[in-house]
Protein backbone atom coordinates (compact mmCIF):
# COMPACT_ATOMS: atom_id res chain seq x y z
CA UNK A 1 0.00 0.00 0.00
CA UNK A 2 1.35 3.45 -0.87
CA UNK A 3 0.63 6.11 1.72
CA UNK A 4 2.23 9.37 2.80
CA UNK A 5 5.08 8.73 5.23
CA UNK A 6 5.80 5.17 4.05
CA UNK A 7 8.89 4.16 2.10
CA UNK A 8 8.43 2.58 -1.29
CA UNK A 9 10.54 0.65 -3.80
CA UNK A 10 9.21 0.61 -7.35
CA UNK A 11 10.11 1.23 -10.98
CA UNK A 12 8.03 3.18 -13.50
CA UNK A 13 8.42 1.76 -17.02
CA UNK A 14 7.59 3.24 -20.41
CA UNK A 15 4.92 0.71 -21.42
CA UNK A 16 2.63 -1.96 -20.01
CA UNK A 17 4.42 -5.29 -20.36
CA UNK A 18 1.12 -7.16 -20.01
CA UNK A 19 -0.42 -5.58 -23.12
CA UNK A 20 2.51 -4.72 -25.39
CA UNK A 21 3.54 -7.15 -28.14
CA UNK A 22 5.89 -9.87 -26.88
CA UNK A 23 8.66 -8.70 -29.22
CA UNK A 24 8.65 -5.27 -27.53
CA UNK A 25 9.08 -6.52 -23.96
CA UNK A 26 12.87 -6.49 -24.27
CA UNK A 27 12.71 -2.82 -25.32
CA UNK A 28 10.96 -1.68 -22.13
CA UNK A 29 12.92 1.10 -20.44
CA UNK A 30 12.75 2.50 -16.91
CA UNK A 31 11.51 6.07 -16.50
CA UNK A 32 11.94 6.35 -12.72
CA UNK A 33 13.20 4.21 -9.83
CA UNK A 34 12.22 4.87 -6.22
CA UNK A 35 14.02 3.17 -3.33
CA UNK A 36 12.97 3.67 0.26
CA UNK A 37 10.65 6.48 -0.81
CA UNK A 38 13.49 8.43 -2.49
CA UNK A 39 13.77 8.86 -6.26
CA UNK A 40 17.17 7.44 -7.21
CA UNK A 41 16.76 7.56 -10.99
CA UNK A 42 14.63 9.72 -13.23
CA UNK A 43 14.82 10.05 -16.96
**pLDDT (tens digit per residue) in 19-42:** 999 999 999 999 999 998 889 999
Residue 7: per-residue pLDDT: 77
Does residue 8 contact residue 34 with C-beta atoms inside 8 Å? yes
16 pLDDT higher than 90: yes
Q: Where are the alpha helices (DSSP H) in 1-43?
A: none
pTM: 0.73
HSE toward the beta carbon, residue 35, CA cutoff 13 A: 4
Distance CA 2, CA 17 (A): 22
5 falls within a domain? no
Domain count, the chain: 1
Does residue 15 contact residue 28 with C-beta atoms inside 8 Å? yes
4 falls within a domain? no
18 pLDDT higher than 90: yes
14 falls within a domain? yes
2 falls within a domain? no
Instruction: Residue 34: give the domain boundaries.
Output: 10-42
| Eight-class DSSP state of 24 | G
38 falls within a domain? yes
34 falls within a domain? yes
Does residue 27 contact residue 16 with C-beta atoms inside 8 Å? no
Q: How confident is the model at residue 12 (pLDDT cuts 50, 70, 90)?
A: very high
26 falls within a domain? yes
Amino acid sequence: MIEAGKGADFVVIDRDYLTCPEAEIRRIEPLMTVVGGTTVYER
